[in-house]
A and B are shown apart, each in its own frame.
Chain A
Amino acid sequence: MTSRKTFQKENIDGLFGELNTDYKGMPESEQLHRDAHLAIAYHDSGRPIPESIDPRVIELISKHGPKDS
């Protein structure tokens, strides 16, 4: 693991809370959830998030991700 700040419970709850509020019950909801978990994992490992990840998820990662102080 790197020393990079990883998503904590409050970050995760915030991201998925917003995802559920905006997309729950919609056809793309499941893929967004898959993408979000994968994007968090890449973020936490310090690797770049692949282009295949939905841009809406990348936006949420930026918004809810841990802030480097």
Chain B
Amino acid sequence: MTLKEIHHTVKRPGRTQDHEPVEIPVAEELATVPGIVKKDNDVAWYSRNYPIVSQNVEKAADREWTWTVYTGEMYEYRKHHDEVNKPLVEAAYVSGDIVPTGTVESGRDVTEEIRQKARELGFGEVGFTKYDRKYAYKSKKAWVKYEHAICLALEQDYWQTQTIPSMEAEFAHFGTYEEEGALALDLADFIRDLGYRAQVHSPNDNSAAYIPMFVEAGLGQLGANGQLLSPHFGNRSRLMIISTDAIVSYDEPVDYGIHKFCEMCQVCVNRCPGRALVKEKVFWRGVEKHKLMYDRCRPVMATYEGCGVCMLVCPVQRYGMAPVMEHFVETGEVLGKGTDNLEGYEIRGKGYYGPGKLPSFSREFFEIPHGTKDEWLFTQFKQKIEEKGKVTEEEKQEFVKELGDILSEESIFDAGL
């Protein structure tokens, strides 16, 4: 006898090819809409008038600042990752120009062949949808060549991720990106063997906000932590896209019951060390979502090995969507909520925080550079004038030199490699 009425059941393939398919019961009171609540006219309006700017560009000043607060080990590891990753990002950037190696079989739909190959390579979630340019970054709109998006999620190591925040978890985080970047190049080769073009959108030089396309392809729904919650690993995956001109069929968005579940669960919101997550949803660029407070998140993330507590404490990440939704149907409760097992974490140098306990940080801890690097330089220069009333000739020259250095920095990659 279950406590809750079941509205519908979602059937999905197993976590890997060796696993059985799963069935996810969605309780009556959790059902909303397939995908996400959005106002298409608003999404289009914002995209036309205020195209999305990559965080790597818009927040370049704090991106550079993060290197100054890394531990020695983290600093060296990030440098190593960037070196390993650079050839993958470069290869992805030009991948759309490579000519196909095979011959097209006229009119044949190759969706399932590509899906099968992607699963064989190890991608845990694979979905097909239109590459929606409304979510493309301003700097990448002209770069994107093909109309169909193959959405690919690669699972991050389970055990390492449960040690968040830690170097071990960062090895899993960045290691997954490195693996994924290489696997995508293989999948693109496979598509070219079928006679079609394939453009790899590197997971480290993203062309767009990817989550909306993953939601449209039915691979999950947007969680309160601002991350994609997919059936098997929740938010514990790394996302990327390959766009193609191959003949493919699109998948449909799915209602996994996540929107109402997150409203009720709130574990990530309550456990966020920086209090960066918010309880209430807002409409942001036409989409109804929990919008995180970036300035509360970034300092914790940069200082404490990527933080990731919002990933750690999500029950869907920890236990999988099927057990979590079954538990809700059976009991009306959130599996693991209120327990040390789900909610506990340690912050380096601060100690252990169980349910109901959060670390505290000084006001100064949250003071980080804002905007692009030139905007931040200008802000600092203006502050100097306001504080001192005037600046010296030497300070003026220093400002001009620094501005020149920033403006002459050139990279075709938003990741700044």
Contact = CB atoms under 8 A, between A and B. Distances in A.
Among A9, A41, A47, residue most surrounded by chain B Cβ atoms (within 10 Å): A41
B226 interface: no
B352 A9 contact: yes
A12 interface: yes
Interface of B: 157-159, 162, 315, 318-320, 323, 327, 330-331, 333, 335-342, 344, 352, 354
Contacts of B315: 41
B344 A6 contact: no
A42 B335 CA distance: 8
A44 B331 contact: no
Contacts of A34: 158
A37 interface: yes
B330 A47 contact: yes
A53 to B, nearest CB: 11
B340 A1 contact: no
Interface string A22-34: 0000000110011
Contacts of A47: 327, 330-331
Interface in A8-26: 8-9, 12
Interface residues of A, number: 18
B106 to A, nearest CB: 44
A9 B352 CA distance: 9
A62 interface: no
A47 B331 CA distance: 9
Contacts of B335: 41-42, 45
A41 B342 contact: yes
B153 to A, nearest CB: 18
Given A38-B323, A45-B327, A1 B337 contact: yes
B159 A9 contact: no
A6 B338 CA distance: 10
A57 interface: no
B341 A41 contact: yes
A38 B340 contact: no
B162 A37 contact: yes
Contacts of A30: 157-159
Given A30-B159, A47-B331, A41 B339 contact: yes
B188 to A, nearest CB: 29
A44 B339 contact: yes
Contacts of A6: 338-341
Contact of A12 (B157, B331, B338, B340): B340
A24 B193 CA distance: 40
A1 B338 contact: yes
A34 B340 CA distance: 16
Contact of A37 (B319, B337, B338, B354): B319
A7 B318 CA distance: 16
A45 to B, nearest CB: 6
Nearest to A24: B159
Contact of B341 (A1, A12, A33): A12
A40 B338 CA distance: 13
A33 B317 CA distance: 13
Given A37-B319, A41-B319, A47-B331, A12 B344 contact: yes
Nearest to B338: A1
